[in-house]
Structure 1
Amino acid sequence: MRTGRRGLITAAVTVVCAVTVLAAPGTAFASPSPPPSPSTGSAPAPGRDLEAVREKLDTLYRAAAVATDAYNAAEEKAEKQSAEVVRLAKKIAEGRERLAGLKDRAGAAARAQYRTGGLPPEAHLVLSDDPQDFLDGTRRVRQGQHATKGLLGELARTQEDLEQYARDASAQWRKLEAGRKAKASAQEKVEKQIAAAKKLESELEKEERERLAALERRAAQRAQTAWLGSGILDELTGKATEQGRKAVEYAVAQTGKPYRWGAEGPEAYDCSGLTSQAWASAGRGIPRTSQEQWKRLRHVPVEDMRPGDLVIYFDDASHVGLYIGDGSIVHAPRPGRTVTVAGAGSMPILGVVRPDTAE
């Protein structure tokens, strides 16, 4: 990364750190420890423990993030299965057309044989005035017999292919229906968790919301400070590849756009929608969800990460950000927030994956 570019990023991150970026109010993923299991319910009574509220909101939005990943995965599978059903339907149509042609040819061969009277070769020899004509005719008959045999074999194979295509299409259709149900179930969970979080936030007084925002900022700052205190930046010397630079530029250009679960831009994004589209803009297709990005992309040590790499968060790989250098990521945090720059260590890091293959 060029020195000027690095200086600009460092300055921007310093300012944002002090004001809004590293600890955007209400950041859903601020707690460095795993949250308790999701639950809903109303906020505590007046005099409430705002730290408990913060943890509860964190839990609800984490649960929504997990459900969003499930929704995105189901949607991706449904798209692939739908495309496969269409492909098989075309195969079936082509097979039926081919089968009809083969049946026409087989019928023509049968009619030709009928016209010869189905006489054996010996009878043709007796009835023939010219033995050479008989021999020539015999060769043609044999060729015709071989052709007919091959035609019947092709007819049988085409019929078998059609039956297999039909079985495959039925199986894909069943998977498609199951995927649609999984998608609907995940959508219901997302909406339930987000609604519960919004309800909890709506019950807070203005002064409480301000205090809660301050708590969230401090939690993010503590996590980032601890991460930087480990000396990790002293070991981060990797420079972006050309593809990585393009992915960073795309992601940074989306800052300020709203988070929306299931969104892949260009108007809004969820966390993995942002990272997958950033790399698509760089010419590299990657998995749609943060969990699949963690499973299928190459893992690299945190101390070796470079701009363009993806930082995966939490034990369940439910969140992802794109590393932009200088200890920072750009990410889509959660509902109610916008795409923003944040400290790479402001959430518990599961690991780092690298979309491009250049060393």
Structure 2
Amino acid sequence: METGKRGLTTTAVAVVCAITVLAAPGTALATPSPTPSTTASPSNSPSLPPNRDLEAVRKRLDRLYHDAAVATDAYNAAEEKAKEQSAEIVELARKIVQGQRRLDDLKDRAGAAARAQYRTGGLPPEARLMLSDDPQQFLNGAGRVLQGQRATKGLIGEMTRTQHDLEQYAKDASAQWEKLEAGRKAKAAAKKKIKRQIAAAEKLESQLEKQEKKRLAELERQAAYRAQTAWLDTGILKEITGKASAQGKKAVAFASAQLGKPYEWGAEGPDTFDCSGLTSQAWAAAGRPVPRTSQEQWKQLRHIEAADMRPGDLIIYFDDASHVGMYVGDGAIVHAPRPGRTVTIAGAGSMPILGVVRPDADAPGT
């Protein structure tokens, strides 16, 4: 009995210790959703077009950084899932330890009953009653025997249930562990892709001359300006009259206070952010937690029409929901753009809009 107890207890403790290691930054595990991709992987040696077509360079950079953003969303999803799975395994380990202690206690009680019977000569209670000459003692004893039989049956039933619970906890822990191990590989692949895409983009930019870099930045600004102008020309701004909720104001204030801080993939602050790290932390600061990734924000939060938008709402960009910004009013968003950039204000229509979601759909505007 003691050997079994030590074995399960040791296993549970080992599970907790292992989870502590696996949940550490850079090693957390999960099973993320399949990572969507809109372009093929870049070549190992990206190079400039022969004719130095900077517009082609700009589009290529956009694709590289977009793919990095998609992989970042998958990485972040894996990180969140790992936290949940790790917590579940730790809880299962706790239940295993408690269940083993309970089973040991039940076995001790059963052993005590057996020893008591041995001390009475091994005669069953029914036999001892039949040998009694006192009718009242016989009747009292009969009641105690009935109670004892019920208690014994209950003890055996509880031992059986506890044993079954322990077996189920062990199976559940094993299943969760397998998911974590599979997720480790998926997360490592996402991390590798992020680094590969960013390295390719940086290498491509490094081949530009100083004047070409300035021209490239101007082309990026012009592209964003054209998109924003086209969006405003629809008259959308005249329709957007919603007022921020109290929590929306807090979320906007938090996001705006991060202006100028660098983008870093997988970051949630306080010094660096990625796009969904900024929006999720802003709403957490406002007292309304939202999903960590832009894709889950799009899936789980309430969708609203762009014309009904109000400050604090989240605008989801691109067909794969790979980017998110927070609407702050007057046709603008605050967002963390991409590697090499900082948290900034941009036109809400400067990128292809997938839709708008509202974290506090149940709160009235003010």
Q: TM-score, normalised by structure 2?
A: 0.86
Residue in 1 aligned with 2:54? 50
- Could you report, residue by residue, the CA deviation over 1:170-209 in whole angstroms, capped at 9, with x for unpaired residues? 1111111111211111000000000000000000001111
- Could you report, residue by residue, the CA deviation over 1:20-79 in whole angstroms, capped at 9, with x for unpaired residues? xxxxxxxxxxxxxx9754523433356411000000000000000000000001111111
1:319 aligns with 2:319: no
Residue in 2 aligned with 1:12? none
Q: Percent identity?
A: 73
Task: Report which structure shows greater RCO (CA 8 Å, sep ≥6).
Answer: 1
Residue in 2 aligned with 1:354? 358
Alpha-carbon shift at residue 113 of structure 1 (Å) = 3.1
1:190 aligns with 2:194: yes
The counterpart of 2:287, out of the listed 264, 279, 283, is 283
1:148 aligns with 2:185: no
Alpha-carbon shift at residue 245 of structure 1 (Å) = 0.4
Residue in 2 aligned with 1:250? 254
User: SS at the partner of 2:223?
Assistant: helix
Instruction: Give the aligned residue type for 2:82.
Output: A
1:300 aligns with 2:299: no
- Could you report, residue by residue, the CA deviation over 1:312-334 in whole angstroms, capped at 9, with x for unpaired residues? 00000000000111100000000
Instruction: Give the aligned residue type for 2:61.
Output: L
- Structure 1 CA distance, aligned partners of 2:180 and 2:41? 29
Residue in 1 aligned with 2:210? 206
Alpha-carbon shift at residue 225 of structure 1 (Å) = 0.4
Alpha-carbon shift at residue 141 of structure 1 (Å) = 1.2
8 Å contact from structure 1 (residues 66, 318) kept in 2 = yes
- Structure 2 CA distance, aligned partners of 1:150 and 1:143? 10
Residue in 2 aligned with 1:11? none
8 Å contact from structure 2 (residues 39, 67) kept in 1 = no
Alpha-carbon shift at residue 153 of structure 1 (Å) = 0.2
User: SS at the partner of 1:341?
Assistant: strand
- Structure 2 CA distance, aligned partners of 1:333 and 1:309? 17
- Structure 2 CA distance, aligned partners of 1:151 and 1:36? 64
Q: Residues 1-359 of structure 1 correspond to what in structure 2 (within 5 A)?
A: 37-40=40-43, 41-44=45-48, 47-117=51-121, 119=123, 123-356=127-360, 357-359=362-364
- Structure 1 CA distance, aligned partners of 2:306 and 2:278? 21
User: SS at the partner of 1:57?
Assistant: helix
Q: Which runs of 5+ in 1 are unaligned?
A: 1-33
Distance 1:42 1:121, change over 3 A: closer
Instruction: Give the aligned residue type for 2:334.
Output: V
User: SS at the partner of 1:237?
Assistant: coil
Alpha-carbon shift at residue 134 of structure 1 (Å) = 1.3
8 Å contact from structure 1 (residues 124, 134) kept in 2 = no
8 Å contact from structure 2 (residues 232, 349) kept in 1 = yes
Residue in 1 aligned with 2:25? none
User: SS at the partner of 1:352?
Assistant: strand
- Structure 2 CA distance, aligned partners of 1:146 and 1:126? 20
User: SS at the partner of 2:354?
Assistant: strand
Distance 1:353 1:122, change over 3 A: closer
User: SS at the partner of 1:224?
Assistant: helix
8 Å contact from structure 1 (residues 38, 59) kept in 2 = no
Q: Which runs of 5+ in 2 are unaligned?
A: 1-36
Distance 1:117 1:133, change over 3 A: same
- Give the CA RMSD over aligned residues: 1.5
Alpha-carbon shift at residue 118 of structure 1 (Å) = 5.2
8 Å contact from structure 1 (residues 75, 179) kept in 2 = no
Q: TM-score, normalised by structure 1?
A: 0.88
- Structure 1 CA distance, aligned partners of 2:319 and 2:278? 20
- Could you report, residue by residue, the CA deviation over 1:88-121 in whole angstroms, capped at 9, with x for unpaired residues? 1011001111110010011112223334445466
- Structure 2 CA distance, aligned partners of 1:122 and 1:224? 92
User: SS at the partner of 2:333?
Assistant: strand
- Could you report, residue by residue, the CA deviation over 1:279-302 in whole angstroms, capped at 9, with x for unpaired residues? 000011110000000000000011
Distance 1:305 1:130, change over 3 A: same
Instruction: Give the aligned residue type for 1:42.
Output: P
Distance 1:174 1:123, change over 3 A: closer
8 Å contact from structure 1 (residues 269, 332) kept in 2 = yes
Q: Which moved more, 1:130-139 or 1:152-161?
A: 130-139
